[in-house]
C-alpha cells in the first residue's frame, strides 16, 4: 500500500479523532482483500468540519489573489511530487490498471490543479457594466461530495476552483476510495493551506453525505454521482435555499455518420467505453451506425474489444454491488433480445469484481441497455436509417452529458453535434480539454466544472451602482 490510512478526520488544519468509533473497510476490488479501515463520519464530524470552514472563510476570502494562487500551485506541486503514491493508491482501492492510474487518475488532477493556480491569479473578480461595478465574491462554505470512479480528479475539480474563488471546503469522498482523499488532505496540509480552508470527513453517503448536504452552515453543495442521489441532494439543498451543482449520469451517443473512418471511429469508441472499466459518466456507451455499415461496425467492435483483457487492460469494478448491477444489465439485454457479440454475464475470474468486456448488437432504442446508465464495460450498437433518425436516437434518453460524432469532414460532424442535447461533444476524436466546461443537459446535472465556467460556480455577484 502506498498510503497509510489515517484513523481520524482532517479538520481545522489537523488530524483529529472521529466523533464515533465506527469504521469503514476499504477493499481492493482486484483480490477482495481489506487493505485499510477509515472512520465512518457522523453528523457531529460534519458539524465540526463546517464550523472550521466557516471560521476560516473571512481570512481566506480576503487573501490576495496572488497568495491564493501560490498555495493552489503548491498543492499542484505536492500532487506532482506524490504522483506514484497517488497512482498506487488508486490502483489499490479502485482497481485501476497501473498505466491508467498513472496517466489519468494521477496525471489529470495535476493539470487541473495547475489550471486553477493560474486562474486564481489572472481571473478578473470585478467588471464595469454601465454605472455599476459588478464584483464576483466567494459563495462561502462549500460541501463537496465526490464519487469513486475518478477519486482524485473529482476532488481537484471541486476543491481547486472553490479555493481559487475564495471559498472554504468540507470534502466527503466516496466510501470506496477514501485513501486517495486522505492523500489529498496530506498534500493540502504540506502545501501550507491555512487551517480550516480545506477539511475532510470520511463516511457513508446516507449519513455523512446527507449531513453535509443539509447543514445550515454550508452555502453550496457540489455533488458528483448518480442521478438518483443527485435528486435527493437537490431536494435537500432546495429546501434550504442553497446553491447546488450536480454532475450526474450519462448515456452518451457515439454517432458514426456515413463517410466517416469507420475502423477508427469504432476502435476509439470501444476504447472509450472500456477505459476505467466503463466507470465513466461521460462514456459513449451507445454506438450509432448507419444501416449500410452496421454489420461491418459490429465485426470491427468484436475484434477491437478482444484486445481488452480483464485483469490487464480492464480492471475490476469498484465493489461487489456494482459488479452484480452490471451483470444484471447484461442479462436484461439478452432477455430483451439484444445479441451478445463479445463478453456476457459470466464472471471472467473466481476472485475480484471483474465483468467481461461486453458488446451488444441488434440493440433498439427502447431497450433498457440503451436507456439506463450501466456503468460497466458494456457497449450497445444501434442502427439508424438517416441523419434525422440518428439524431432522434441520440437525443432519446433522459441524459445529456457527452457524445461524439464522426464524419468525413469536421463541418458535417459539427453541424450534427450542434443539434445534440449534450454538454460536451467530441468531433472526429477531439481530445479532452481540461479548460473547457464539463457538465450535462437534462438529467445529467446542473452546473459546469473545469476552467472559468467551473470557477464561476463558486462565485456570486454583487452590483455596486454609482
124 burial (CB, 10 Å; 0-12 / 13-18 / 19+) is exposed
* Residues in CB range of 294: below 8 A, 6 or more apart: 381, 383
463 burial (CB, 10 Å; 0-12 / 13-18 / 19+) is exposed
Active site residues: 247, 281
Other beta carbons within 10 angstroms of residue 117's beta carbon come to 22
Q: Are 145 and 237 in contact (CB under 8 A)?
A: no
Beta bridge partner(s), residue 310: 314
Return the axis-axis angle of helices 83-94 and 178-191, rounded to nearest 10°: 160
Smallest CA-to-CA distance from 381 within 358, 397, 410 is with 358
For residues 291 and 86, give the distance between their C-alpha atoms in angstroms, rounded to a whole number.
Answer: 45
Q: Which three cell numbers stand for residue 117?
A: 493556480
Q: How far is CA 261 from CA 222, 246, 264, 300, 359, in A?
A: 39, 35, 6, 12, 20
Pairing label, strands 126-129, 132-138: antiparallel
Pairing label, strands 220-224, 141-145: parallel
For residues 220 and 402, give the distance between their C-alpha atoms in angstroms, rounded to a whole number.
Answer: 25
Amino acid at each position: 500500500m502506498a498510503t497509510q490510512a489515517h484513523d481520524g478526520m482532517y479538520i481545522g488544519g489537523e488530524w483529529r479523532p472521529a466523533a464515533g468509533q465506527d469504521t469503514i473497510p476499504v477493499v481492493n476490488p482486484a483480490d477482495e482483500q481489506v487493505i485499510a479501515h477509515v472512520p465512518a463520519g457522523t453528523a457531529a464530524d460534519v458539524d465540526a468540519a463546517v464550523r472550521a470552514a466557516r471560521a476560516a472563510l473571512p481570512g481566506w476570502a480576503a487573501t490576495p489573489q496572488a497568495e491564493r494562487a501560490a498555495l493552489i500551485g503548491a498543492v499542484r506541486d505536492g500532487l506532482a511530487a506524490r504522483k506514484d503514491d497517488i497512482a498506487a493508491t488508486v490502483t489499490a482501492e479502485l482497481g485501476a490498471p497501473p498505466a491508467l492510474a498513472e496517466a489519468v487518475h494521477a496525471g489529470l488532477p495535476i493539470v487541473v490543479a495547475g489550471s486553477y493556480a493560474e486562474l486564481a491569479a489572472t481571473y478578473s473578480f470585478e467588471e464595469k457594466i454601465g454605472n455599476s461595478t459588478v464584483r464576483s465574491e466567494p459563495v462561502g462554505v462549500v460541501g463537496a461530495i465526490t464519487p469513486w470512479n475518478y477519486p482524485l480528479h473529482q476532488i481537484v475539480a471541486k476543491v481547486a476552483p472553490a479555493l481559487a474563488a475564495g471559498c472554504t471546503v468540507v470534502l466527503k469522498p466516496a466510501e470506496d476510495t477514501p485513501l486517495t482523499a486522505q492523500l489529498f488532505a496530506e498534500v493540502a496540509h504540506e502545501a501550507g493551506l491555512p487551517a480550516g480552508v480545506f477539511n475532510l470527513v470520511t463516511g457513508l453517503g446516507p449519513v455523512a453525505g446527507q449531513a453535509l448536504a443539509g447543514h445550515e452552515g454550508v452555502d453550496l453543495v457540489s455533488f458528483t454521482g448518480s442521478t438518483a442521489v443527485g435528486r435527493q441532494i437537490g431536494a435537500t439543498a432546495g429546501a434550504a435555499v442553497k446553491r447546488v451543482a450536480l454532475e450526474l449520469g450519462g448515456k452518451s451517443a457515439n454517432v458514426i455518420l456515413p463517410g466517416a473512418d469507420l475502423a477508427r471511429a469504432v476502435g476509439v469508441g470501444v476504447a472509450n467505453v472500456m477505459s476505467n472499466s466503463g466507470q465513466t459518466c461521460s462514456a459513449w456507451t451507445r454506438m450509432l451506425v448507419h444501416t449500410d455499415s452496421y454489420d461491418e461496425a459490429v465485426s470491427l467492435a468484436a475484434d477491437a474489444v478482444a484486445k481488452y483483457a480483464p485483469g490487464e487492460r480492464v480492471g475490476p469494478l469498484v465493489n461487489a454491488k456494482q459488479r452484480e448491477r452490471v451483470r444484471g444489465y447484461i442479462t436484461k439485454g439478452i432477455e430483451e433480445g439484444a445479441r451478445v457479440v463479445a463478453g456476457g454475464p459470466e464472471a471472467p475470474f473466481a476472485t475480484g469484481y471483474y465483468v467481461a468486456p461486453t458488446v451488444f448488437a441488434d440493440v433498439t432504442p427502447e431497450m433498457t441497455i440503451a436507456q439506463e446508465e450501466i456503468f460497466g464495460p458494456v457497449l450497445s450498437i444501434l442502427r439508424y436509417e438517416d441523419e434525422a433518425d440518428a439524431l432522434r436516437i441520440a437525443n432519446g434518453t433522459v441524459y445529456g452529458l457527452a457524445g461524439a460524432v464522426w464524419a468525413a469532414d469536421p463541418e458535417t460532424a459539427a453541424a450534427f453535434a450542434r443539434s445534440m442535447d449534450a454538454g460536451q461533444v467530441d468531433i472526429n476524436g477531439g481530445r479532452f480539454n481540461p479548460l473547457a466546461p464539463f457538465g450535462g443537459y437534462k438529467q445529467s446535472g446542473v452546473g459546469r466544472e473545469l476552467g472559468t465556467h467551473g470557477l464561476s460556480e463558486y462565485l456570486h455577484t454583487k452590483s455596486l451602482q454609482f
